[in-house]
Amino acid sequence: MVSSIQGLAPIINPLNSVLIEKKLINVDQKFIQLVSLAEGLPRTEVIESGRNYWRGVCRSLIFRFPDDLEILKLDVRSYVDRSKGIIQIRSAARLGQSDLGVNLRRVEYLFNQLEKF
């Protein structure tokens, strides 16, 4: 679902999806750690896993509604220090007009856990 070399697809409905981008040091290591954290989320199925891109489906506990979760490590050639880079995480509900903040909390959780490494 990657939209372009520029990054992940934009958010269409901010009430049921979120896209957060962070500049990080040790970006290669941080990407691997984020993927590990994402794969450890409950009810998450890995759909695609690559060197710079990961995609999975997270399902809600009761009704099993699917949310798409994507992690992208952007190739930023302009940085002199190759350890610095940008990671985007996009989490979006497939169904409904509102997710009651579930996707935002999921992405915030991943970035908060990343800080503990």
For 1-20, the pLDDT digits (tens) are 554 457 999 999 999 999 99
Q: What is the pLDDT of residue 5?
A: 55
Q: What is the pLDDT of residue 3?
A: 47
Q: Is residue 51's pLDDT more than 50? A: yes
DSSP structure string for 79-102: -SSTTEEEEEEEEEESSSS--TTH
30-50 pLDDT, tens digit per residue, is 999 999 999 999 999 999 999
Global confidence as pTM: 0.91
Q: What is the pLDDT of residue 111?
A: 97
Domain 2-114: assigned CATH number: 3.30.310.80
Q: Is residue 75's pLDDT more than 90? A: no
Q: What average pLDDT does the structure give for the chain?
A: 92
Nearest CA to 50 out of 33, 71, 81, 19 is that of 71
